[in-house]
Amino acid sequence: MANVIDTIDKYQYWRDEKLAKSVSDIDNCTVEINKPEQLSTAEKDKLLTLCRYNNFAIFQTPQLQDYESKLVSFNQQLNLVDFDQHLYVKNQGLARITPSEQKDQAEFIPYTDRAIGWHTDGYYNASEHRIRAFTLFCVNAAESGGENQWIDHQMVYLLLREENPDITKALTHPKAMSIPEHKVAGVVRRKTSTGPIFFIDEITEQLSMRYTQRKKNINLYNSTEIKQAVKKLDELLNTNSPYHFSHRMHSNQGIICNNILHKRSAFTDNQASPRLMLRGRYFNQIQ
């Protein structure tokens, strides 16, 4: 994809193609997978086509034995190989997202039963550790709640630019959003991360996004235009559009995506079988 931010005809061509080809019915975004460790050509084509125009696909597998290694090879067949060495990553890049009793882990909302607002994964990462794709696979659903919601971040850009190009211009400001450094006992664990909200990724040349709705953790650049643009962005996220998706994953279902915007509702577990999702985060995009 050429630079759709800076070149008006490239933007218009991309916009028209995206509006024509994106899919808004979730059933048409779901691919039945027979053997995740050995995708058929038709299965792989369908996943890639959905990810090309919608930036995500839902997949459904039979009950799997040894599901972790099968999911790793599923992801590898879609170019997801360079995984983020995140704090709690084990099995070849997959993290087990489940409520944790361990105090250090329970400080992070994903490892609780609480709701998580709109964000892209790794929004706080330095550009050399940019998350370009993530996958989630439901091993066990919560007793109630735990619904996922998502929207293609590129569609969000498109809708905002159509509303008013000044909004998207403000969101591409090189210092639009800063995440303060993270210190533990006086030691810097992660440096301050400053950058645009929408940008062209220099490796994939794709329109990409870093964002979180957790205003507590971020500083917006001190400009009225940027603050108003972020307000417009939040308003769009908090409404509903044909491009907003909402789905409660059940066992053996997953999502594979080019780091789209997503959120999660709070949930209640059956203590005997807590909600368990497997998550992979990658520096590659799906292809």
Complex with Fe ion: residue 107 or 162, whichever CB lies closer: 107
Task: Give dist(CA 135, CA 260) in Å, integer.
Answer: 11
The amino acid present at 89, given as its one-letter code, is V
Q: How many CA atoms lie within 13 A of 223 on its CB side?
A: 15
Task: Give dist(CA 274, CA 260) in Å, integer.
Answer: 26
Complex with Fe ion: residue 44 or 110, whichever CB lies closer: 110
Q: How many whole angstroms from its chain centre is CA 153?
A: 9
The nearest distance, CB 48 to Fe ion, in angstroms, is 22
Interactions with Fe ion, residue window 106-135 (CB under 5 A): 121
Complex with Fe ion: residue 14 or 59, whichever CB lies closer: 59
124 burial (CB, 10 Å; 0-12 / 13-18 / 19+) is buried
Longest dimension (CA), the chain: 56
Complex with Fe ion: residue 149 or 204, whichever CB lies closer: 149
Interactions with Fe ion, residue window 67-96 (CB under 5 A): none
Complex with Fe ion: residue 44 or 86, whichever CB lies closer: 86
Task: Give dist(CA 240, CA 154) in Å, integer.
Answer: 16
Contacts of 183 (CB under 8 A, 6+ apart): 189
The nearest distance, CB 119 to Fe ion, in angstroms, is 6
The nearest distance, CB 262 to Fe ion, in angstroms, is 6
Tell me the torsion sign for CA atoms 211, 217, 222, 224: positive
The nearest distance, CB 151 to Fe ion, in angstroms, is 13
The nearest distance, CB 280 to Fe ion, in angstroms, is 12
The nearest distance, CB 46 to Fe ion, in angstroms, is 24
The nearest distance, CB 123 to Fe ion, in angstroms, is 9
The nearest distance, CB 248 to Fe ion, in angstroms, is 16
Task: Report DSSP letters for 101-135, one per residue.
Answer: -SHHHHTSGGGSSS-EEEE-TTTTS-GGG---EEE
Q: Which residue minimizes CB distance to Fe ion?
A: 121
Return the closest-CA partner of residue 110 out of 146, 61, 64, 66.
Answer: 146
Complex with Fe ion: residue 46 or 258, whichever CB lies closer: 258
User: By rule CB under 5 A, what count of residues binds Fe ion?
Assistant: 1
Site string for Fe ion, 229-248 (x = CB under 5 A): --------------------
216 burial (CB, 10 Å; 0-12 / 13-18 / 19+) is exposed
Q: Helix, strand or coil for residue 81?
A: coil
Site string for Fe ion, 16-55 (x = CB under 5 A): ----------------------------------------
Complex with Fe ion: residue 121 or 152, whichever CB lies closer: 121
Complex with Fe ion: residue 100 or 228, whichever CB lies closer: 100
Q: Which residues bind Fe ion (CB under 5 A)?
A: 121
